[in-house]
Structure 1
Amino acid sequence: MTYKFLDSFKFDNGVTLKNRMVMSPTTTMSSFYNGRVTNDEIDFYGARAGGVGMIIGEVANVIASGKGFEGELSIADDGDIPGLTKLANTMKQNGTRAVLQIFHAGRKSNDSILRGQQPVSASAIKAAFPADSQEPRALTTDEIDEIIVAFGDATRRAIAAGFDGVELHGANTYLLQQFFSPNSNQRTDKWGGDRDARMGFAKAVIASVHQAIVANADRPFLLGYRVSPEEIETPGIRLADTLAFVDMLANSDVDYVHTSMGSAHRTSLNDKTDHEPIMTKLVKQLAGRKPLIGVGSVEKPADAEDVLGLGADLVAMGREMIREPQWVEKVVDGDEASIRYQLSPSQMDELKIPRAMQDYLKGAFYSVMHFTTDPNTAVDYQNEAAPMEGFEKKM
């Protein structure tokens, strides 16, 4: 069978993908204590490279205060470059493009992870989820400037390490989203205020990263941005806010927009009378100005075709790539019958899933991984947020 997702794709800046399938960021939680790359990470990505057109590597913090969890990658220091170089080379097997997601966790951290330091955010407002979240300290203007510079420095390191791009993690309630949210950003200086003013931090980070690319890249280098369409807090980000934000992205220096949703057919979490898929709204808002990476419970080839049918340009898979590292290769070979759609706990070592990641999958992610030992029916995230989106509340 002929699939559109196997067609090549060319970004406006010249970067070409051999097909339209993307491995979305999948957190392994397997870096060393200082954020340096481990062999477990190399093995995990090595098993999944070569088939998909692009891998977006798991998130890396751009500055020490931005660490959000144990076992997290770092791109905050030049000493990180050798390990990241090995990681990039591993991802780029057989023509797969390698992009690294970079971020600052903001208030989605705690003083244990930060070794005694209080987490920081736009304002001193505690996150609603999880329930034991700590109150952050509001960043000073000097610290905000330092973080903006850190994103540019991280991009320089990603270029030096051989990646084909970076993706700004502006989703899943991390710092970039925190500055845009009326829930977490209640500042009265230039970094807060109305919706347009709350876009200021993201605009400054995009500008810093773009400048680093212009100054350091000797090849076409991608700049992506990931967004979460809604928040469930009040006040919080609503679809109208996100559509305005995406309009800003469409006119910015980013090369693509990547959405974060548990289902590609997600409708509004807050307006139950709105039955139009969010993906459709994003496609309309972008109006061809930037490519869109669609995501959300893509498992079978028909699911990937469906995402393209909704108007997305590229299709991302996360959980299915954990279960089936050779998904694309099996489709190309006409061997779809052997694709794994469930994950056996006894096969995780064979699938090169790091032990720390195995514990996480069997814990917080158990309900979304289709474990062969799970007697429960899979959850449909069309009308509710998934665990990976930063929420812990079912709608």
Structure 2
Amino acid sequence: MSKAFEATELGGKHLANRIVMAPMTRSRAYGEGNSPTDLMAEYYAQRAGAGLIVTEGTQPSAIGQGYPDTPGIHSAAQIAGWRKVTDAVHAEGGVIYLQLMHTGRVGHPTLMGRTPVGPSAVRAAGQVYTHAGPQDFVTPRELTDDEIRDTIADFADAARNAVEAGFDGVELHGANGYLIHQFLAPNSNVRRDAWGGGPEGRIRFAVETARAVADAIGADRTGFRLSPGNSYNDIDESDRTDLDATYGALVDALAPLNLAYLHQMEVPGVRDLTLRLRKAWPTAFVLNPASGAEPTGPDALALIEDGTADLVAYGALFLANPDLPTRLARGGPYNTPDTSKSFGGDHTGYTDYPSLG
């Protein structure tokens, strides 16, 4: 049997296999104050056959919301809504982590009722979807030193709320051009104080946030996601020397915390850096491998066999195949995702994908 289908341990939790459901925003948190619904509980429970589920990005505070109908974890109603999700997943034998995602400068005043915040007052090129349709990104308000520390505290409080809601752990979203990534990148962080400048300053927010969360709920319940070189949301990490220095320093600083895992969303052209980060990381290494225009496919399981990763994360294929580990073990067949139903809507394109048998 392929190693991918063998049980393993992660952060003290028993995983049935080494296949991870990657976080995917679905914008269906229609409950009170952006709280999860029974439909969301059904969606995640259907996919409990994953060794590990990482939820959609969830805002640790109201100002951290960047898209319509995404869930939070900063109110009593949200905690109660997420408890339905974790109970449903655990009833099916699954393990589930909550991804904490503060979108930073990626957002719009029409959504949050205030100007988005970021490491620097640098507007991202592009647009964001709102209930009123696509809107240009706005110039964020630069966080003060005190506000940065308050934001770190928000992450720690949100992690405690996640544990109260029954999650097995949390994943910090340091990828895809959101707040933590904005601090890491030289084009979105142009500060000249202790939170910016060279790589050592730019990694500080990520490291201090990870440390605060680990202190709050335990390092063995804390994961960290990164995506070196990812240009999503107008991030520019094209200087390869700076990229290598920044992420080398970040992983070196995070490693002593002994977090549950490091989760890399890989972009094309950085496999050499991926291997260096994997070698430097002391605990489980999860890889969402670069796959070009196609979704991550069955061939990615070879990365577990050859030791490139301990676990492999699947996104789009898990969206359309709730029983993905079973399908991978049998060699398919695979449902095709309806991408027109990716964000918002009802159960169609969400919980109505068939399982085998």
Normalising by structure 1, we get a TM-score of: 0.77
User: Alpha-carbon deviation of 1:177?
Assistant: 1.0
Deviates further, 232-241 or 169-178: 232-241
Task: Show the counterpart of 1:139.
Answer: 143
Task: Show the counterpart of 1:267.
Answer: 269
**Using a 3 Å threshold, how does the CA distance of structure 1 residues 235 and 344 change in structure 2: closer, same or farther?**
closer
User: C-alpha separation between the residues in 2 aligned to 1:20 and 1:254?
Assistant: 17
Amino acid aligned to 1:90: A
1:94-128 CA-to-partner distances (Å, cap 9, x unmatched) read 3211100002110011111212x111101101113
1:136-178 CA-to-partner distances (Å, cap 9, x unmatched) read 0101222112111111111111111111000000000111111
Amino acid aligned to 1:306: L
- Partner SS, residue 251 of structure 1: helix
- Partner SS, residue 98 of structure 2: strand
Match of 2:334 among 327, 337, 340: 340
Task: Show the counterpart of 1:241.
Answer: 246
User: Alpha-carbon deviation of 1:344?
Assistant: 5.6
Please tell me the root mean square deviation across aligned C-alpha atoms, in Å: 2.7
Task: Show the counterpart of 1:175.
Answer: 179
**Contact map agreement 1:56 1:98 (CA 8 A) in 2:** yes
Task: Show the counterpart of 2:119.
Answer: 122
Does residue 318 (structure 1) correspond to residue 315 (structure 2)? The answer is: yes
Task: Show the counterpart of 1:391.
Answer: none
**Contact map agreement 1:166 1:223 (CA 8 A) in 2:** yes
| Number of equivalences | 332
User: C-alpha separation between the residues in 2 aligned to 1:279 and 1:95?
Assistant: 31
- Partner SS, residue 113 of structure 1: helix
- Partner SS, residue 74 of structure 1: coil
Does residue 355 (structure 1) correspond to residue 355 (structure 2)? The answer is: no
User: Alpha-carbon deviation of 1:345?
Assistant: 7.7
Deviates further, 142-151 or 166-175: 142-151
- Partner SS, residue 168 of structure 1: strand
Amino acid aligned to 2:337: L
User: C-alpha separation between the residues in 1 aligned to 2:95 and 2:3?
Assistant: 19
- Partner SS, residue 225 of structure 2: strand
**Using a 3 Å threshold, how does the CA distance of structure 1 residues 356 and 111 change in structure 2: closer, same or farther?**
farther
**Contact map agreement 2:288 2:312 (CA 8 A) in 1:** yes
Task: Show the counterpart of 1:366.
Answer: none
Task: Show the counterpart of 2:210.
Answer: 206
User: C-alpha separation between the residues in 2 aligned to 1:310 and 1:126?
Assistant: 40
Task: Show the counterpart of 1:229.
Answer: 228
Does residue 306 (structure 1) correspond to residue 303 (structure 2)? The answer is: yes
User: Alpha-carbon deviation of 1:340?
Assistant: 1.3
- Partner SS, residue 124 of structure 1: coil
Does residue 84 (structure 1) correspond to residue 82 (structure 2)? The answer is: yes
User: C-alpha separation between the residues in 2 aligned to 1:283 and 1:79?
Assistant: 38
**Using a 3 Å threshold, how does the CA distance of structure 1 residues 345 and 188 change in structure 2: closer, same or farther?**
closer
Amino acid aligned to 1:37: P
Task: Show the counterpart of 2:261.
Answer: 256
**Using a 3 Å threshold, how does the CA distance of structure 1 residues 171 and 356 change in structure 2: closer, same or farther?**
farther
**Contact map agreement 1:4 1:305 (CA 8 A) in 2:** no
- Partner SS, residue 245 of structure 1: helix
- Partner SS, residue 183 of structure 1: coil
Aligned positions of 1:146-157 closer than 5 A: 146-157=150-161
**Using a 3 Å threshold, how does the CA distance of structure 1 residues 179 and 343 change in structure 2: closer, same or farther?**
closer
Match of 1:291 among 281, 284, 292: 284
**Contact map agreement 2:214 2:221 (CA 8 A) in 1:** no
Task: Show the counterpart of 1:8.
Answer: 7
5+ residue gaps, structure 2: 129-135, 351-357
Aligned positions of 1:52-63 closer than 5 A: 52-63=50-61
**Contact map agreement 1:28 1:357 (CA 8 A) in 2:** no
Amino acid aligned to 1:340: Y
Task: Show the counterpart of 2:38.
Answer: 39
User: Alpha-carbon deviation of 1:309?
Assistant: 2.2
**Using a 3 Å threshold, how does the CA distance of structure 1 residues 250 and 356 change in structure 2: closer, same or farther?**
farther
User: Alpha-carbon deviation of 1:353?
Assistant: 8.9
**Contact map agreement 1:76 1:154 (CA 8 A) in 2:** yes
Match of 2:275 among 276, 280, 284: 280
User: C-alpha separation between the residues in 1 aligned to 2:61 and 2:339?
Assistant: 35
User: Alpha-carbon deviation of 1:329?
Assistant: 2.5
Normalising by structure 2, we get a TM-score of: 0.84
Match of 1:30 among 28, 38, 44: 28
User: Alpha-carbon deviation of 1:315?
Assistant: 0.8
